[in-house]
Structure 1
Amino acid sequence: MQIYEELKARGLIAQVTDEEEIRELVNTGKATFYIGFDPTADSLHVGHFMALCLMKRLQMAGNRPVVLVGGGTGYIGDPSGRTDMRSMMTPETIQHNCDCFKKQMERFIDFGEGKAIMVNNADWLLKLNYIDLLRDVGACFSVNNMLRAECYKQRMEKGLSFLEFNYMIMQSYDFYHLFQEYGCNMQFGGDDQWSNMLGGTELIRRKLGKDAYAMTITLLMNSEGKKMGKTASGAVWLDPQKTSPYEFYQYWRNVGDADVLKCIRMLTFLPLEEIDKMDAWEGAQLNTAKEILAYELTKLVHGEEEANKAQEVARGLFAKGGDTANMPSTALSAEDLTDGSIGILDLMLRCGLVPSKGEARRLVQQGGVEVAGEKVKEISAAFTAEQLSGEGLVIKKGKKVFHRAYLAS
């Protein structure tokens, strides 16, 4: 099975501009392709994970990746998938985030002479003359067509700034620039980027009279139609300082039964023949599938040693209910206590186990919270500095989430 057919079999391809041409390019290793990453944080997250894996798969098949970090488009902010405007970042923050991305990407992508390259669109976008851009590029875009794009339509009700309205033009210009400078003939991205990507292929056609291609990747959604990669405490990050290897492992270990095989197929590098045999798995076998998923993805992101450690800790917690080694932990300070203690609702919120006190209250009332092996029966329950000293207290949320809270000395 060639790479394009494998991508289809894994359910990774959402939309393509010219299927036969794209199939021929990637199967023969003749694609020079790019994927853009806007530096909106100092770490990549699960939302970027599928794009990184796609780049790795295509590079293994002989194609050349161009990683584009949006040091320039980061000044504007992508409105796709947003109901509000992104906060503006300083140039220093944007550059710092770009540097962090490079370090994380090197685990997935092989950079070097004749291999993958990383470029920053600040190098050309920040040098553009506004009047020249309007005349040279703006004339190629129809405002009517732009307003029909999904990325803009969903923002029109609440208000779309002129700043964000320019994002499609900037992304299209990126493709146009990379086509000329590096022979980049394809762009890949999330399915929510389709309109922006078509803008690039059209700009290349109108300005250069040549063909370029676009393919979108299926967004990672759960069986309820929600984007995966979020927890009560926020995004699942690839940086171990923001999401520990154990927490990363546990996120995938806890995916729903209906989602586990889809995730294995789309995200791991296990052979399809092996995955196809799992389609008949049910009951306890699905827990085994979840362990396989969690281990494989943790190994990809954090390495085999951390994957082994996370798996051992997870199994130890379920077997013994209290091994705190490498367990996610929160250090409390005296300022977190009121009159020498902290209530269960505040404690859960402080540990990032819930997004709000209301959610904490609901969990306690439903009997879904344990502290130190005892079920918390009252929302008024509180824990003293003495109880939180030393090793602290282990909080169990539901059946699968463990967290240690302790008072820092």
Structure 2
Amino acid sequence: MSADRTAVDPGTWSSALDAVRLLDADGSPVTHDRYDPVPLPDLLEHYRAMVLGRRFDDQAGALVRQGRLAVYPSSHGQEACQVAAALALRPGDWLFPTYRDSVAVATRGVDPVEVLAWLRGDWHCVFDPTAHHVAPQATPLATQLLHAVGVAHAARLRGEDTVVMALCGDGATSEGDFHEALNFAAVFHTPVVFLVQNNKYAISVPLAHQSVAPSLACKGVGYGIPGILVDGNDVAALSAVLGRAVADAAAGGGPVLVEADTYRMHAHTNADDPTRYRTDEEVRSWECRDPISRVRTYLRDVGALDDAAEQALAAEAEALAAHVREGLSRARPSEPDDLFAHVYASPTPQLLAQRDLLRAELATEEADR
């Protein structure tokens, strides 16, 4: 068992609170005593995914403003967390995302158009979770963590080599489901990696109003789960930490809790006004910690990235955005009876009467054409 999987004792919190970092905000490499530098091919893969993810994220925001999406929770500024979580998993592992983790879902291989379809009004998960080993994105806070633990426990009982990556935000750590999931995972020694993306606000509630723990990673102490704090804007550090956590879980090491120190640059959703609870100065202070700029600087400094490669990647990102625009501009088939089919296990007389009334109105409209 690796050294960093030793459960953190409350008396050693001060040392445990040093965030793992392999690249400084200016792109300079940092030596760490437990994590080796990430190989350049892996860093290039992460950089590519982050650039594509941000273009996808920005395109989704534009589609909201155009009325083609009802809502979109942006992860702009959290791309390192999104990409590292998805790429740390093996093909047979599972990802359990939140509503803000669209970039992680797309990085896992789901068609970006299918990733966004539920945000334009579709009532079900459009993509096949079993084909991609990606659970539907969860809107209720922390409920997916219990599902994640259940899948991991079932896989372990069946003797399957499966690790589950369960994503959540800092606000979810204030929910009862978070604590139930950690407790179950610890007691049954399930192969789950909990990644808390601490972006500082649960909608409008700052972290200081949620917890006085010195770190959310320390919350694992009460359950006997190792807690690791990592710079959430350093994709190299995230790749190293999450990669080892997945490997350890697969080897029987049990669950681990990783807190990524990051920041939500955009509003909670398009319905949110972040100026009511945070200042422009605070936002600007995080701009210099941008996760994409950080790794780009490093890759260019070591000669692994040049203008030609950047231009090719920019063209790939624009092609992705065009694919998303085209896909979400196509009319989707709809079945009016679906409005009534899944309200009750057995439809009530009133529901059937409403269904028949709608059918009659649609038939009249069709006859009048």
TM-score (norm 2): 0.30
Relative contact order (C-alpha < 8 Å, sep 6+): which is higher?
A: 2
Q: Which has the higher strand share?
A: 1
- Larger Cα Rg: Structure 1 or Structure 2? 1
Q: TM-score, normalised by structure 1?
A: 0.27
